[in-house]
Amino acid sequence: ERCQRPHWDFRLLLAPDRENYTKNEEVMLSCPAGFQPSFTHVKCGSEVQSVTHGKRVYREVWLGRDSRGAWIRIRSSVDCLEVVQVVPGTFEISSTSIKLNWTCRFPDACQGMRGMCQLAVAPSPPCEAGEVKGEQMFHGQEGTFTCSALQPLTDYRVTIDLPPSTTLFSWLFTTDEAVPDKPEELWLDPNTGFLSWKSLPSCKGEIIGYQLNITARKAGDSGFLEMERLRLNGSATEHRLPEHSPGSSYVVTLRGLTAAGAGAASVREFRSNCSDSPQPPDISCRSVRDIAPSQGTAVLPLSPIARPSEAAGEHQLLVAAALNSSGMESVCSGQPQLSNGSAYLAAVLNLTAPTDFVLGDGSRGPGYHNAALRPGWDYTALLRL
């Protein structure tokens, strides 16, 4: 009684390797590096297929030795299986780390297994990325391997191997983008009025744009604020500041943008037709008359701030608890909602001529409330076009 060579996984190595095997002859199976056969020992056997006229008819079968040492009938193919299984869908990738889950299918074959993370491609100057240090030894049948302290938008190769030279898993990863660095160079040409900056490198992600905020304060009237919020394309390196009379000041905030969001801001203050050396920001006050604490009112002398081309625009009167310069910019650039918060919309006006406005008279309208002022509180009122 004989068995023919089985037609299993073509990668299987049989020892002895023959076309026919005798009954009860044991055969050892092995696989290429990184793989393990579902049975390491098999043998030729036979079983009764049918009985005809009292005579038994046998057919050849293959038996495999299980983990307990018992011989069992092999009813399907014997395959070469990966020793370590890593499911691609479970990868967790950020701008600074790579995390994957692993499972060892054959615990006896995983002794001494280790994971490593290496820089696959060095980034082009001016971008830099150092080599990743260290390796991690694996223990047990499953676990998590994490490469940390990585550079954004950089290629790394993660490998799991068995010393001295068996690679069980190898995969090339690219870390996610991150927000860009702060623009370091920002200057104003006093002759042309152009604000310029050095373009940011795409080390942490493609620079898809710049966010430019300009707060202008009129010369001789520092209570007047004009704010401009711009989104410029990623190739821009300059922008002309709005024209104002000599001595006007500008607070400029510039941020780079990638797909991950806006980076840290570079903030400078300039004065028109003056040196572009940084100037300390300040907030000045305008007079308020006829304050009536008992009634929660104060009279504000308001003047139009619309240019002729913007005469149809509305004026919004914003009120907030006393602010510093950064808080003032936040309130001016935002969209305060009527609430019990620290900032609110007190009135919507159409100023065509100077007028005395009574702040805190309790009047209401769509989205605004001219709420009474609280005695003893400090307030900042801002008029926005």
pLDDT, one tens digit per residue, over 65-113 is 988 889 999 988 899 998 888 887 789 999 999 999 999 888 778 888 8
The mean-pLDDT minimum among 29-43, 128-142, 310-324 falls in: 310-324
Question: In whole angstroms, what is the distance from residue 238 CA to residue 358 CA?
Answer: 43
CB of 238 within 8 A of CB of 197? yes
Question: In whole angstroms, what is the distance from residue 179 CA to residue 169 CA?
Answer: 31
Q: What is the pLDDT of residue 279?
A: 40
Highest mean pLDDT pick, 134-143, 240-249, 321-330? 134-143
Question: In whole angstroms, what is the distance from residue 46 CA to residue 36 CA?
Answer: 26
Average pLDDT over residues 116-140: 87
Question: In whole angstroms, what is the distance from residue 330 CA to residue 321 CA?
Answer: 13
pLDDT at 133 over 70: yes
The secondary structure of residue 380, as a DSSP letter, is E
Q: What is the pLDDT of residue 114?
A: 92
Q: Domains of the chain: which residue ranges?
A: 2-81, 84-175, 186-272, 283-384
Q: Which two tokens stand for residue 261?
A: 């969001």
Fold match flag (84-175 vs 186-272): yes
Q: Which two tokens stand for residue 127?
A: 């971008």
CB of 120 within 8 A of CB of 157? yes
Q: Which two tokens stand for residue 131?
A: 């080599």
Q: What are the phi and psi torsion angles at 186 (to 5°)?
A: -145, 120
Average pLDDT over residues 30-38: 89
Domain at 2-81, CATH from 2.60.120, 1.20.58, 2.10.70, 2.70.50: 2.10.70
Confidence band, pLDDT 50/70/90 cuts, at residue 52 = confident
Q: Which two tokens stand for residue 266?
A: 């570079």
Question: In whole angstroms, what is the distance from residue 118 CA to residue 116 CA?
Answer: 7
- Cis check for the bond before 164: say yes or no (omega within 30 of 0): yes
Q: What is the pLDDT of residue 70?
A: 92
Domain at 84-175, CATH from 3.20.20.70, 3.30.300.30, 3.40.50.2300, 2.60.40.10: 2.60.40.10
Q: How do the residues of the chain divide into helix, strand and coil, expressed in percent and rounded to 5? A: 5, 45, 50
In CATH terms, is domain 186-272 a member of 2.60.40.10? yes
How much of the chain exceeds pLDDT 70, in percent?
Answer: 84
The mean-pLDDT minimum among 87-91, 139-143, 266-270, 314-318 falls in: 87-91
The mean-pLDDT minimum among 132-136, 337-341, 352-356 falls in: 337-341
Question: In whole angstroms, what is the distance from residue 206 CA to residue 276 CA?
Answer: 30
Q: What is the pLDDT of residue 339?
A: 45
